[in-house]
Chain A
């Protein structure tokens, strides 16, 4: 059985999809990834799909699912490296992947994740501060 490796790097999980996904593989990835987010308390998930030449409605749904599932486990998802032909096909198919963050390459994706996480931490800090003020 094929398996897509999930690598941990600090607070992030990295997934590079090097093969064309078939349904079972995609479903396994979804389950594994959500498990890993929970187990490692990851703050971000970076999915590289630069080697994927087809994303159909099923795969699109899986990508959307991963993003929403991670979100409610307090992790952000960024999809990087989408091929232009795949972007064209997704939109024509009627699947705009709303709610999924994207970046052109790994580096930009990593920066985006970092900035999103900094922002949420700042917000948390502000909340704490305002709590302090109230208790004072």
Chain B
């Protein structure tokens, strides 16, 4: 059972918003005393996902939440956009797959960096990706 303790919604439409978002994620991670390596993992994951959102969907919304499950706290990030959607999620989750001339590490790499990863996408409607990183774990 995970409980949401705080919720912060940030619109990401311009490159400056990306910097602002990363700073807020960092503040939140520091607030729950997340270890430095986990902070770096979470921020890197956020950086990958926000870039995808900017590149493929011209921006979207990110919700930053502090969640708690018993004694441990964590940060949950939900990225939602109204972009073109991902037709084949299995392919998108494979290392080296990209439709956008990148390395194709974004989604599978992000999954390796966080504790929980969930992706929902519908062609023509958009994509919602949720990641969760516990403070220690």
A residues with CB within 8 A of B: 20, 22-24, 53-58, 60-61, 83-86, 88-89, 92-95
- Given A53-B40, A85-B36, A89-B44, check contact A95 B15 (CB 8 Å): no
Decide if A95 touches B109 in the complex (CB within 8 Å): yes
Decide yes or no whether B103 CB sits under 8 A from chain A. yes
A residues within 8 A CB of B110? 93
Decide if A88 touches B95 in the complex (CB within 8 Å): no
Decide if B44 touches A93 in the complex (CB within 8 Å): yes
A residues within 8 A CB of B106? 57
In the complex, which residues 5-20 of chain B have their Cβ closer than 8 Å to any Cβ of chain A?
15, 18-19
Decide if A61 touches B18 in the complex (CB within 8 Å): no
Decide if A53 touches B51 in the complex (CB within 8 Å): no
In the complex, what's the smallest C-beta–C-beta distance from A9 to chain B, in angstroms? 31
A residues within 8 A CB of B22? 20, 54
Decide yes or no whether B41 CB sits under 8 A from chain A. yes
* Residue ID in chain A nearest B112 by CB atoms: A92
Decide if B15 touches A24 in the complex (CB within 8 Å): yes
Number of interface residues, chain B, beta carbon within 8 A: 24
- Given A23-B15, A58-B51, A89-B113, check contact A95 B105 (CB 8 Å): yes
- Given A22-B19, A57-B48, A57-B106, check contact A93 B112 (CB 8 Å): yes
The main secondary structure of chain A at its interface with chain B is helix
A residues within 8 A CB of B105? 57, 93-95
B residues with CB within 8 A of A: 15, 18-19, 22, 36-37, 39-41, 43-44, 47-48, 51, 95, 102-103, 105-106, 108-110, 112-113
Decide if B113 touches A93 in the complex (CB within 8 Å): yes
A residues within 8 A CB of B109? 57, 92-95
A selection of 7 A-B contacts at a CB cut-off of 8 Å is A22-B18, A23-B15, A54-B40, A57-B106, A58-B102, A93-B48, A93-B110
Q: Determine which residue in B105, B106, B110 has the highest number of CB atoms from chain A within 10 A of its CB, and name it.
A: B105
Closest 5 CB pairs of A and B: A93-B109, A85-B40, A56-B47, A57-B105, A85-B37
Given A85-B39, A93-B48, 12 further pairs, Cβ under 8 A:
A54-B43, A54-B44, A56-B51, A57-B105, A57-B109, A58-B51, A60-B103, A88-B37, A89-B40, A89-B44, A93-B44, A95-B103
Decide if A94 touches B51 in the complex (CB within 8 Å): no
Which among B15, B39, B113 is the interface contact of A92 at CB below 8 angstroms? B113
